Structure 1
Amino acid sequence: MKVYISADIEGITGTTVWSETELSAPDYAQFQKQMTKEVLAAIEGAFAGGATEILLKDAHDSGRNILIENMPENVKIIRGWTQEPMCMVAGLDSSFDRAIFIGYHSEGGSEKNPLAHTLSLLADIKINGEYASEFLINTYAAALHDVPVAFVSGDQALTEHIARYNDQIFTFATKEGVGHATINVSPQTTLKKTKYLVEQSMKIDRTKLQIELPKHFTVEIIYKDHIKAYRNSFYPGATFKPHNTVQFETTEYFEVLRLLQFLT
């Protein structure tokens, strides 16, 4: 069984301020280690649940966060960015049985994680009228290849967001955001729960985990800067909505991914 893992950092245990997520910042090393540990716990759980091969995407910022010296055999890791529209799930295709997202976070526009955003700090994104999370964008991308997402770890609000789409997906809340603070579980609890829940998620019928792609997509990219919105509205098929929004409509989800690749 082939399993795909995409890992971010803003939803791992403890991260609260941006300096804890930035490669060159002095606060970063502790949380780089925790991110790596949480990924390794997911890998252990996946293998215990029957995985035979894993592809791991380091999907935060530079794409060079996970410490690779302890990666097990039968795990390959994508570091850096391929620059293709699949973005945080680059390399995922129909050969995979299921996907796992580690350290994900609430969508841009949410007050439930001080690090909440969607792809960019310069804009928020809506799909079909709802603020879109990176979970949703990447789950829809996986659905293009009929690959379901089995497990997601991240903040409490994200787990509630996921349940609205499919409450069969296994989730674990590492933290809860309150204003500019986070209330976190023990890092050891996260590691134990991640390993256990990932293992269980490997055993559930994958059809129960599927999220169906909508038939039509209306995408709104809401920029902080109205000038950037006006400029980006010249993307083919896009329109400008005063005062700071680009709108785009399509029936093809890959075109949504292409749009996000160029405009966020």
Structure 2
Amino acid sequence: MKIYISADIEGVTGITHWNETDKGKGDYGYFAEQMTREVAAACEGALRAGAAEIWVKDAHETGRNIDPEALPEITRLIRGWSGHPFSMVQELDESFDALLFVGYHSWAGSNHNPLAHTMDAHGIQYIKMNGIYASEFMIHAYAAASLGVPVVFISGDKGLMEEAKAMNSSIRTLAVNEGIGDSTISIHPQVAVEHIKKEVELALKGDLALCKIEVPEYFEVEISFTAHKKAYKASFYPGMKQLSANAVSFESHDYFEVLRMMSFVL
């Protein structure tokens, strides 16, 4: 099996404050290590299930958070950002048997995680796809679906697990924390590591075809920016319409065109 893992940090166990996500802050080091541990656990679970090739995308902020030496030797680690519209699943293609998400978080505008956001931590009020608030998981799960790659596992906050199950009930989910206001309730970091390892193994030993997500035939995307000047600038992207001082909309039958638009306006 050839497996792809996309990893973020705002959904690792224990994380609660923006200082814990920022390389320039003293709290960051511990949570970058926990992000690494959770990704390494997912790799171990994949190996136990028979994976022969594992690709990992470090998909938080700089794309330079995961300790490469902590990962199995067969792993290929994607660091930094190429600028490709696939963004957090850069290099994903039809050759992969499954996609896994580790450390993901709820969408901008939700109350499931103190660090909830979508693509831009502070510049986006919300993104909606076909009237539904979109998370980074949703955006990239549809990218996988457009290639026919099943999404088999996700870990992160409790609210996001509910979103994943709504997209496809066969996806194995693991809630490592739950956001309540500006606080979190989290499981023990070592428990998270062991559960990720176990759940990934079970996910990859199951019927992967059951985890394929259906791609909508048409996309209506609404983006609300915190700053009105960003909406004004985005309104000049081909096919974009301005809805209000802060919001724009874009429609397409082609999901790659949606991703291309986001790569230029977000």
Structure 2: distance between partners of 1:205 and 1:257: 29
Aligned twin of 2:25: 25
Distance between the aligned counterparts of 2:140 and 2:150, measured in 1? Answer: 10
**Cα distance in 1, alignment partners of residues 85 and 189 from structure 2:** 33
Deviations 1:169-221 (A, max 9, x none): 00100100011100001111101110000000001112100111000000011
Q: Match of 1:144?
A: 146
Structure 1 distance, partners of 2:209, 2:66, is: 31
For residue 147 of structure 2, give the secondary structure of its aligned residue in structure 1: coil
Partners of 1:111 and 1:185 in 2: how far apart? 19
Q: Which residue in the other structure is 1:193 paired with?
A: 195
Q: Could you list the per-position Cα deviations for residues 202-248 of structure 1 after superposition, in whole angstroms to 9, with x for gaps in the alignment?
A: 01112100111000000011011122111210100001001311100
Alpha-carbon deviation of 1:79? 0.4
Displacement of 1:70 in angstroms is: 2.2
Is 1:63 the counterpart of 2:98? The answer is no
Equivalent position of 2:79 in the other structure: 79
- Structure 1 runs of 4+ off > 3 angstroms? none
Q: What is the one-letter code of the residue matched to 1:34?
A: Q
Determine the C-alpha separation between the residues in 1 that align with 2:146 and 2:72. 29
The answer to whether the Cα contact below 8 Å between 2:64 and 2:79 also exists between their aligned partners in 1 is yes
Equivalent-residue separation in structure 2 for 1:70 and 1:249 (angstroms): 42
Cross-structure match for 2:262? 260
**1:51 to partner: Cα distance:** 0.6
Alignment partner, residue 106 of structure 2: 106
User: 2:36·2:70 contact (CA, 8 Å) conserved in 1?
Assistant: no
After the TM superposition, which residues 173-188 of structure 1 pair with which residues of structure 2 at under 5 Å, given as runs?
Answer: 173-188=175-190
Match of 2:224 among 222, 225, 228: 222
Q: Partners in 2 of 1:86 and 1:242 — Cα distance?
A: 28
Classify the secondary structure of the residue corresponding to 1:4: strand
List gaps (5 residues or longer) in structure 1. none
Corresponding residue for residue 122 of structure 1? 123
C-alpha separation in 2, matches of 1:134 and 1:209: 18
Amino acid paired to 1:118: T
Report the equivalent of 1:213. Answer: 215
In 1, distance between residues paired with 2:189 and 2:106? 19
User: Which amino acid in structure 2 is aligned with residue 28 of structure 1?
Assistant: Y
Alignment TM-score, normalising by the size of structure 1: 0.99
In structure 2, give the amino acid aligned to 1:210: K
Percent of residue pairs bearing the same amino acid type: 51
TM-score by length of structure 2 reads: 0.98
Three-state SS of the structure 2 residue aligned to 1:101 is strand
**Aligned residue identity for 1:84:** H
Amino acid in structure 2 at the alignment position of 1:173: A
Q: Which residue does 2:159 correspond to in 1? A: 157
- After superposition, give the CA deviation of every residue in 1:81-130 in whole Å (9 maximum; x if it has no partner): 01110000001000000011000000001011000000012112100011
Letter in 2 for 1:62: T
Whole-angstrom distance in 1 between the partners of 2:97 and 2:233 = 40
Aligned match for 2:243, one of 219, 226, 241: 241
Task: Measure, in 2, the Cα distance between the counterparts of 1:242 and 1:6.
Answer: 34
Q: Distance in 2 between matches of 1:143 and 1:262?
A: 22
